[in-house]
Amino acid sequence: MTLRSLLLAGLVTFAPTFAFAQCGDASWYAIRNTTASGEMMNPDAMTAAHRSLPFGTMVEVTNQSNGRSLTLRINDRGPFVGGRIIDVSRAAATQLGFRNAGTAGVCVAVL
pTM, rounded to two decimals: 0.81
What pLDDT does residue 21 have?
Answer: 87
Instruction: Tell me the C-alpha distance between 85 and 88, whole Å.
Output: 10
CATH code that applies to domain 16-110 = 2.40.40.10
Profile the chain (111 residues) by mean pLDDT over runs of 10 residues: 51 55 94 93 96 96 96 96 95 98 96 93
pLDDT at 19: 64
Per-residue pLDDT, 12: 46
Give the model's pLDDT for residue 11.
54
Closest-CA residue to 107 (of 42, 35, 22, 4): 22
Contact yes or no for 38/97 (Cβ under 8 A): no
Alpha-carbon span 48 to 63, nearest angstrom? 14
